Structure 1
Amino acid sequence: MTNATFHIVASPESWIEQAAVDQLHHTARLDDIDRVVGLPDLHAGRGIAVGAAFWSRSHVYPHLVGSDIGCGMGLWRSALPLRKFRLDAAERKLRGLDAPWSGDVAARLAEAGLAPDLAREALGTIGGGNHFAELLRVETLHGAGDAAVDPAALYIMVHSGSRGLGQTILDGHLARHNVDGLIAGEAACADYLAAHDHAMHWAVLNRELIAERFLDRIGTNGERLLDICHNSVTPHQGGWLHRKGAAPADRGLVVIPGSRGDMTYLVRPRLEQADVALHSLAHGAGRKWSRSEAKDKLVRRFSIADLERTKLGSRVICEDRDLIYEEAPQAYKDIHQVVRDLETAGLIDLVATLRPLLTYKMRRA
């Protein structure tokens, strides 16, 4: 049993539920976990706190990564000038995007070094839960700046993962090992890491295809500015760094979205301070209410039509009655406070703030 160091990056102004802190402490008691860090978006998950990073010098714990291996955020700058974008037209055109992609799936998988039949039916689809694709524009440019950020362009952000593939990998591990850690260098660990890496590559390709489908619907193309995975385990400082809802701070620019009714921040990690938070950053605002709580609290106060428009004037496409309540902006923490905490801790410099125009979650037809 190890005595892990334990740190939460959050100011007194940030609200973090005790259940999430308790989950972090529970994880810190696992054998051979050496460091545990909670980030300002920390919230309780299904046994494991989300918005956290865990480092072990010798073990890999698949359940700390979870079922959606490779889940993350991608950001594209479209070739469509913002002045030519028409919201009504875009809303009408974004249809048929929940059906399987009609392109050459086997070829794209092979190009990515993956088996041509690997989870092929799901490739290019967003999925449910908190996943989405969103059209945005630049609201504010900050001092850190970046030449790739053009305030005259339309942007698309994609949040999705490995769909059922990651779940299958985790289920297989749990059936064989329960929540026991795997010793680095042993065959069982190598097998898990190989499957994990396939799911990571699949998830990156999935976000790429989602972006291509959306851009094609609105009659343009785009250039990827970043793609970051926030559910993963990777080699780090001679050990293994597990991220559960934590964005990497060692791979360039990071996008940190709020809820569908709030701003998104584009930030540059400050590498000189990165080890304070295990080279990790918040991956979003973090939930304030569970999905069931959100529905119970909001269903009598707001109609579905109310939730299809946000306080920022953006629109929401979500034709799942439960999901539109479960993922309402009110269910999430204040993204501005989350980002302030990261900035105060010396972990980031602000590059830009992005305003949502249209958030797509699910459409029946």
Structure 2
Amino acid sequence: MGTFNAIKQIEKNIELIASDKTWIEGKAIEQLKFSAKLPDMLKVAGMPDLHPGKSYPIGAAFLSKNTLYPYLVGSDIGCGMGLWQTDKPINKVKISRWIDKLSILDDPLDLDWLDEIEQTKQQFGVISRDFDQALGSIGGGNHFAELQIVDTIFDQTLAEAIHLSKKHVQLLVHSGSRGYGHEILNQHIAQFNSAGIVADSDAGVAYLNKHDDAVRWACANRALIASQIMATLNIDAESLLDVTHNLVSKQNGIGWLHRKGATPSDQGVVAIPGSRGAHTYLVKPIKSATGLFSLAHGAGRKWQRSEAKARLSNKYRVQDLQKTSLGSHVVCKNKALLYEEAPQAYKSIDQVIQDLKDAGLIELIASLKPILTYKTSKSGGC
């Protein structure tokens, strides 16, 4: 499959990075077209993981000239992926012990963490103190913490450049700004509904100040999640990367680039995970204006959440979904969430990666296989 087939020009200012083998829901395309007609919008781009959101699609990037659209960024400002390489050899892993120990991750960090919380906030430059009690929490939806092992190295030179070791366990954390981001979007909606605001207006500057702090908060949150996991499992780890995929940023000389579930391709190596029963890919982006300097952020949903429960609940028991086809374990005692986030509800990450590769946007570094995914130890749902 060549580059031509992986890049589609839907309309003059609408680009889609997806081959004919990648199923894209019609509603997502309609939302992409709708977003392209917003005032001051220059161009929009859908990724192979494109799927419908409430009003605008997820898995897309949007470039406006001088207008900010907080609704395009969404409520989980700063949501992204952090990857750490632990010092734990893969032959010393005891999964059953780790499952038991990680049950504390739903609880807020206690008083013993106050110093580290403060140090981490200072490290990332976080200003707000209103949501300190939520720092270190994963959250719901598709957020997770996952222990992985390196399965295949595609480019040894690139792997060595980021110090990737096939002998040690990796830790991938996917989370965002929790209630902080929600509050920022709700404040905007209360005043402007879903309308945009001029970037250099008082309202625009105020939003950007809060938005940028929420992005830093989300980075600090992922670091604290990783720190708590390390402390709980008595391991150390080195940060390999942290990438944000829900944000708006100034694209010098062009305009304002909004990403909603889109990974930056202009900030170095990134991780693109599949479902909880699929591989994560480490890739080196090939910087390009194609796709608005963005890549897929995951596999993308194939089914809506309510549809996933309806399709799977009569076919699979809870315990069936707590172990994947790759042999990995999933800790999720919320039954509804377990069905909503089942691997079957997601597209093929292998095809998403192939589309990005065929579009000339990435070089493959390695694939990582999950061994333990943590979502929540709290029961509920169904």
Is TM (by shorter chain) over 0.5?
Answer: yes
Shift of 1:146: 2.0
Residue 231 of structure 2 aligns with which residue?
216
Code of the residue aligned with 1:136 in structure 2: it is: Q
1:79 to 59, 81, 87: 87
CA contact (8 A) 1:109 1:116 kept: no
> 1:340 aligns to what?
354
Q: Which of 238, 254, 263 is 2:270 aligned to?
A: 254
Q: Kindly provide the CA deviation profile for residues 286-313 of structure 1, in whole angstroms up to 9, marking residues without a partner as x.
A: 0000100000100111000000000000
* Alpha-carbon distance between aligned partners in 1 of 2:260 and 2:128, rounded to the nearest angstrom: 28
| Residue in 1 that maps onto 2:206 | 191
Identity of aligned residues (%): 48
AA in 2 matched with 1:70: G
Matched-pair contact (CA < 8 Å) for 1:232–1:242: yes
Confirm or deny that 1:129 pairs with 2:144.
no
SS of 2:200's partner is coil
Range with bigger deviation, 345-354 or 229-238: 229-238
Where does residue 327 of structure 2 map in the other structure? 313
Check the 8 A contact 2:276/2:342 in 1, yes or no.
Answer: yes
Of 297, 303, 328, the match for 1:283? 297
* More divergent stretch after superposition (316-325 vs 87-96): 87-96
Matches of 1:183 and 1:254 in 2, distance apart?
31
Provide Cα deviations, 1:44-66, integer angstroms capped at 9, x if missing partner.
01111000000012111100000
Deviation at residue 182 of structure 1 after TM alignment: 1.2
Instruction: Tell me the distance in 2 between the aligned counterparts of 1:146 and 1:347.
Output: 18
Q: In structure 2, list runs of 5 or more residues that go unmatched.
A: 1-10
Distance 1:16 1:347, change over 3 A: same
Instruction: Give CA-to-partner distance per residue, 1:302-353, whole Å, 9 cap, x none.
Output: 0000000000000000010110001000000000000000000000000000
Amino acid at match of 1:349: E
Q: Corresponding residue for 2:25?
A: 17
Moved more, 201-210 or 84-93: 84-93
Tell me, in whole angstroms, the C-alpha distance in 2 between the residues paired with 1:119 and 1:301: 40
Q: Kindly provide the amino acid, as one letter, of the partner of residue 198 in structure 2.
A: I
Q: What are the Cα deviations for residues 182-240 of structure 1, in whole angstroms up to 9, with x where unaligned? A: 11211110000000001000000000000111122111110110000100000113210
Deviation at 1:97, TM superposition (A): 0.8
Partner of 1:324: 338
Letter in 2 for 1:113: G
Q: Any idea what SS the aligned residue of 1:15 has? A: coil
Match in the other structure for 1:204: 219
The whole-number CA distance in structure 2 between the counterparts of 1:336 and 1:342 is 10
Comparing 327-336 and 95-104, the one that deviates more: 95-104
| 2:109 is aligned with 1:101 | yes
Matches within 5 A, 1:7-156: 7-102=15-110, 103-104=113-114, 105-115=117-127, 117-143=129-155, 145-147=158-160, 148-156=163-171
Question: What is the CA-CA distance between 1:108 and the residue it aligns to?
Answer: 3.5
CA contact (8 A) 2:128 2:213 kept: no
Aligned AA for 2:241?
A: L
Quick check: 1:139–1:353 contact (8 Å CA) kept in 2?
A: yes
Q: Which runs of 5+ in 1 are unaligned?
A: none
Determine helix, strand or coil for the equivalent of 1:198: helix
Q: Confirm or deny: 8 A CA contact 1:99 1:125 kept in the other structure.
A: yes
**Which residues in structure 2 correspond to 1:164-175 (within 5 Å)?**
164-175=179-190
Paired positions, count: 361
How far the C-alpha of 1:145 sits from its partner, in A, is 2.8
Whole-Å Cα distance in 2 between the matches of residues 219 and 114 of structure 1?
Answer: 27
Q: Any idea what SS the aligned residue of 1:166 has?
A: helix
Amino acid at match of 2:276: R
- The answer to whether residue 171 in structure 2 is matched with residue 159 in structure 1 is no
Q: Note the C-alpha offset of 1:95.
A: 1.9
Contact 2:80 2:174 in 1 (8 A): yes
Matched-pair contact (CA < 8 Å) for 1:158–1:207: yes
Q: Aligned with 1:64: secondary structure?
A: helix
Structure 2: distance between partners of 1:73 and 1:112: 15
Q: Name which of structure 1's ranges 33-42 and 88-97 shifts more when overlaid on structure 2.
A: 88-97
Per the normalisation by structure 2, the TM-score is 0.92
SS in 2 for 1:94: helix
SS in 2 for 1:285: coil
Offset from partner CA, 1:54-91 (integer Å, 9 cap, x none): 00121111000000000000000001111211212211
Distance in 1 (alpha carbons) for counterparts of 2:244 and 2:368: 20
- How many Å separate the matches in 1 of 2:120 and 2:271? 26
231-240 vs 159-168, which deviates more? 231-240
Encode CA deviations 1:255-276: one digit per residue, 9 max, x unaligned. 00000001110000012xx211
Distance 1:69 1:116, change over 3 A: closer
Tell me if structure 2 keeps the 8 A contact 1:4–1:29: no
Q: Which of 293, 302, 311 does residue 316 from structure 2 map onto?
A: 302
Instruction: Tell me what 2:363 maps to.
Output: 349
| Aligned counterpart in structure 1 of residue 260 of structure 2, from 231, 244, 248 | 244
Alpha-carbon distance, 1:178 to partner: 1.3
- For residue 275 of structure 1, what is the amino acid of its counterpart? A
